[in-house]
Amino acid sequence: TFYSCSFEGYQDTLYVHSLRQFYRECDIYGTVDFIFGNAAVVFQNCNLYPRLPMANQFNAITAQGRIDPNQNTGISIENCTIRAADDLATSNIPIKTFLGRPWKQYSRTVYMQSFMSDVVDPAGWRDWNGT
């Protein structure tokens, strides 16, 4: 369990590797797949801040890695806020930010009762290989 913590990085900021995890009122900053892994994880009342990525990159908030349909894992994002970090908000470079992309065959991510600013691309999700 993590309460009122800040996780700041770029690509692969927070590895939610395994077991059960809970994050409440945390700030998480990143670019490509900045929340990734195969835990049963809940983010509640957190702030998710996509940052300005490197040239020719995009932002993907999640990359969930469930490999078996019987696994009880997934990423649950509840009552969270998604806003651009300051470096992205003040940039003139058009950057696409996606809710996530499937890392493995049975990836599972849910956003519910959350605020998504216009930083999120209207497509919502992106394929792993970008097609």
Active site residues per annotation: 33
What separation in angstroms does the CA of 6 have from each of 26, 103, 131?
Answer: 6, 24, 33
Encoded amino acid at 5, one letter: C
| Cβ neighbours for 72, distance < 8 A, ≥ 6 positions apart | 40
Q: Give 85-104 as a DSSP string.
A: -HHHHT--S---EEEE--SS
Q: Give 2-43 as a DSSP string.
A: EES-EEE-BTB-EEE-SSEEEEES-EEEESEEEEEESSEEEE
